[in-house]
Amino acid sequence: MCKAIVIGGGWAGAAAAVRAAKRGAEVVLCEKTDMLLGLGNVGGIMRNNGRFTAAEENIALGAGEMFEITDSLSTHRNVNFPGHDHASFYDVAMVEPEVRRLVKKLGVELRFITRIIDVRLENESRVRAVVTADGEVIEGDVFIETTGSTGPMGNCMRYGNGCSMCVLRCPAFGPRVSITERAGLKDLSACKADGTRGAFSGSCKLEKRTLSKKLQRKLDKDGFAVIPLPEKFINRDKLKKKVCRQYALDSYAENIILIDTGHAKLMTPYFNLEDLRQIEGFENVRFADPYAGGKGNSIRYMSVGKRDGYMRADGMENLFLGGEKSGFFIGHTEAISTGSLAGYNAAEYACGRSMLELPESLAIGDLLKFSRKALEEENGLDRRFTFAGGEYFERMKQRGLYSIEPEKIRNKVAFEGLENVYNRDLSVIK
């Protein structure tokens, strides 16, 4: 049996572990904290705009497990809020245990509080093993890096407003380490509009019960709330710093926009607490993750690797990438999409079978090719890619890739001969 080592247990890592396990690999998932899903524990937005299409493509391809979980835990569905249509909001407090149960059920060995800090190379293009912070050497046939691109603390201090004590909890569990760079490759960092590196994480979390009863009822009923800001609190400069360009709309500067994800998700990278408490309905409010949301948020896109259409790191034979590690991608759906393909191809490669490259006729395949080519262009480091908005969602619409009709999406996948490809009997794959 081939052995796959997944480094990082966010949405991408969990999805990669599921796919590799279902392809017959022995899978070890190493996560530096004590929980799976990473930013998925504070995100909560699914199926908005082009993400609906991508979710249904994944389901048709055979990678529907994660979407079944988020759909089942969605407390609000088909929500239209500024810049976004037909969104679902899942309960961020309940999702991780469900994903953990799924991964364990498939026989994946979960190694929590296991921070990978180095690699052992067989030769310059092949990884033999990874090394933990405790000095343990974990050997494998194939490796999948899904460590994300946020932090470590030093980057948030240098390029942001300091450590926000976010859900990634670097002070408690240690900083992120780039496996691609440890393997001798050179990572890419994004640029903000002012030329500095990285980008601010897109939102903060408020304790819902500290809002006024009126606002709580609004969130419970509609799933979101839009509260106009007094002129003195409008800060359009923050829009330029956000990782999530789909929210770089005037309405997100002129209003407080809240989304109900179990907590009240505040769609801004930071907001001074003293100022926030001057607004009606927020008199008693306090932040959850990040606890320093009055000052700043984590800095992302500090460590993105180059890869091919199979999700394999450039210059490496057996190192695959998923999630934000594999491109300037935004969102859970994007992480699940890239992680699923990385996990599938890693297992296929390790077991001596043919790998899969998704065609451009599918939104996922088009995004992967388009984003890879964009990195070679002059402004490539300043671009962000998501099914939910910005330039890629516009591209989806222009190319006829955007659809909210599940049957139509399934038929397109079937036309390409890829229906349930991720789960086909091994004897069928040639």
The strand pair at 299-300 and 199-200 is best described as: antiparallel
Q: Give the number of other CB atoms < 10 A from CB of residue 375.
A: 14
* 36-58 pLDDT per residue, tens: 999 999 999 999 999 999 999 99
Residues of the chain with CATH 3.50.50.60: 3-194+300-423
Residue 237 has a pLDDT of 79
* pLDDT under 70: residue ranges of the chain: 241-246, 427-430
Residue 242 has a pLDDT of 66
Instruction: Say how far apart CA 41 and CA 168 lie, in whole Å.
Output: 10
Residue 261 has a pLDDT of 97
The answer to whether the CB of 188 falls within 8 A of the CB of 48 is: no
Q: Which of 91, 131, 328 is nearest to 223 (CA)?
A: 91
* 351-407 pLDDT per residue, tens: 999 999 999 999 999 999 999 999 888 788 989 999 999 999 999 999 999 999 999
Tokens (6 digits) for 115: 């921070």
**Topology given in CATH for the domain delimited by 3-194+300-423:** FAD/NAD(P)-binding domain (3.50.50)
Backbone CA torsion sign across 161, 163, 164, 168: positive
Backbone angles phi, psi at 231, to 5 degrees: -50, -40
Q: Residue holding tokens 């569905």? A: 77
Residue 429 has a pLDDT of 43
* 245-257 pLDDT per residue, tens: 667 778 999 999 9
